[in-house]
A and B are shown apart, each in its own frame.
Chain A
Amino acid sequence: MTIVRDRVATTLHALPGKRRINPILVVVVAGAIIVALTYTLPAFRTYQLATVGAYFCVTAGLTVLTGLNGQLSLGHGALMATGAYTLALWQNKFNMLIPGVIVAILVTTAVGAIIGLAAARLRGPYLAGLTLAVAVVVPSISSTFDGTFNSDQGLPVALNPPPESILVEQWQAWVCWIAALVTVLALAYLTRGRFGRDMRAVRDDETAAKLAGISVARTQVLAFVVSAACAGLGGALFAVLSQSVSPGAFPLTLSLFLLMAIVIGGLGRLVGALIGALLLVALPAIAQEIGQSAGSQRLEGNLALTFFGVVLVVVMIAAPGGLTSIRLRRTKTTRTRNELKQKGR
Chain B
Amino acid sequence: MKRTASVLAVVLLAAGCSNGTSNSGGSSGNTPGVTDTEIVVGTHMPLTGPAAAGYSKIAPATKAYFDYVNANGGVNGRKITYKIMDDGYNPANTQTVVRQLVLQDKVFAILNGLGTPTHTGVLDFLKTNRVPDLFVASGSRSWNQPEKYPDTFGFNPDYTVEGKILASYVKQEHAGKKVCFLGQDDDFGRDSLAGIENILGPVTAKQSYVTSNPNVGPQMGALKAAGCQVVMLATVPGFTALSIGTAAKIGFKPAFVVSNVGSDPTTLAKSLGPAAPLLEGVVAANYLPLANDTANPWIQLYTKVNTQYNNNAELDNNVVYGMSVGYLFVQALQAAGKDLTRDKIIQAVEKGGFTGPGLVPVRFSDKDHSGYAGEQLTTIKGGQAAYFGTPFTTDDGDGAVTASTAAPAVPPANGIPAS
Contact = CB atoms under 8 A, between A and B. Distances in A.
Pairs A-B, 4 closest by C-beta atoms: A249-B92, A301-B48, A153-B117, A44-B103
Contacts of B6: 327
Interface string B43-68: 00001110000001000000000000
Interface string B277-312: 000000000000000000000000000000000000
Interface in B135-172: none
B208 A152 contact: no
Contact of A44 (B1, B100, B116, B213): B100
Contacts of A143: 185, 210, 212-213
Contact of B8 (A29, A152, A297, A298): A29
Given A153-B91, A244-B91, A146 B104 contact: no
A249 B47 contact: no
A246 interface: yes
A324 B4 CA distance: 10
Which applies to chain B's interface (DSSP): helix, strand, loop or mixed?
Answer: helix
A35 interface: no
A251 B363 CA distance: 39
B334 interface: no
A156 interface: yes
Contacts of A29: 8
16 contacts: A29-B8, A43-B103, A49-B15, A140-B213, A152-B91, A154-B91, A168-B128, A244-B95, A246-B90, A249-B91, A271-B4, A271-B7, A275-B7, A297-B84, A298-B48, A301-B93
B120 interface: yes
A247 B2 CA distance: 40
Contacts of A327: 2-3, 6
B49 A301 contact: yes
B63 to A, nearest CB: 11
B121 A244 contact: yes
Interface string A47-68: 1010000000000000000000
Given A153-B187, A242-B95, A246-B117, A45 B19 contact: yes
Contact of B86 (A156, A300, A328): A300
Nearest to B116: A153
Given A140-B213, A244-B121, A328-B3, 10 more contacts: A26-B4, A153-B185, A153-B186, A154-B91, A242-B95, A246-B90, A271-B3, A278-B10, A297-B85, A298-B47
A37 B18 CA distance: 12
Contact of B212 (A26, A40, A248): A248
Interface in A128-165: 139-140, 143, 146, 150-154, 156, 161
Nearest to A41: B15
B294 to A, nearest CB: 30
Interface string A241-269: 01110111110000000000000000000
A33 interface: yes
A146 B208 contact: yes
A96 interface: no
Contact of A248 (B18, B47, B84, B90): B90
A243 B185 CA distance: 21
Given A30-B8, A297-B47, A301-B48, A42 B103 contact: yes
B30 to A, nearest CB: 16
Contact of A42 (B14, B48, B104, B128): B104
B211 interface: yes
Interface of B: 1-4, 6-8, 10-12, 14-15, 18-19, 22-23, 47-49, 56, 84-86, 88, 90-93, 95, 99-100, 103-104, 116-117, 120-121, 124-125, 128, 185-187, 208, 210-213
Interface residues of A, number: 49
Given A41-B19, A44-B103, A242 B92 contact: yes
Given A42-B22, A152-B117, A146 B91 contact: no
A198 interface: no
B2 A331 contact: yes
A123 B48 CA distance: 38
Contact of B18 (A45, A249, A298): A45
Interface of A: 21, 26, 29-30, 33, 37, 40-45, 47, 49, 139-140, 143, 146, 150-154, 156, 161, 168-169, 242-244, 246-250, 271, 274-275, 278, 282, 297-298, 300-302, 324, 327-328, 331
Nearest to A278: B11
B91 A40 contact: no
B117 A297 contact: no
B15 A246 contact: no
B186 A150 contact: yes
Contacts of B48: 298, 300-302
B121 A242 contact: yes
A328 B8 CA distance: 16
A41 B84 contact: no
Q: Which of B7, B10, B84 has most A Cβ within 10 Å?
A: B7
Contacts of A153: 91, 116-117, 120-121, 185-187
Contact of B7 (A43, A274, A300): A274
A104 B93 CA distance: 23
Contacts of B99: 44, 47
A274 B10 CA distance: 11
A247 B212 contact: yes
Contacts of A33: 8, 11-12
A201 B88 CA distance: 45
A156 B19 contact: no
B88 A301 contact: yes
B121 A246 contact: yes
A283 B256 CA distance: 45
Contacts of B84: 297
A150 B117 CA distance: 10
A133 B92 CA distance: 21
B379 to A, nearest CB: 31
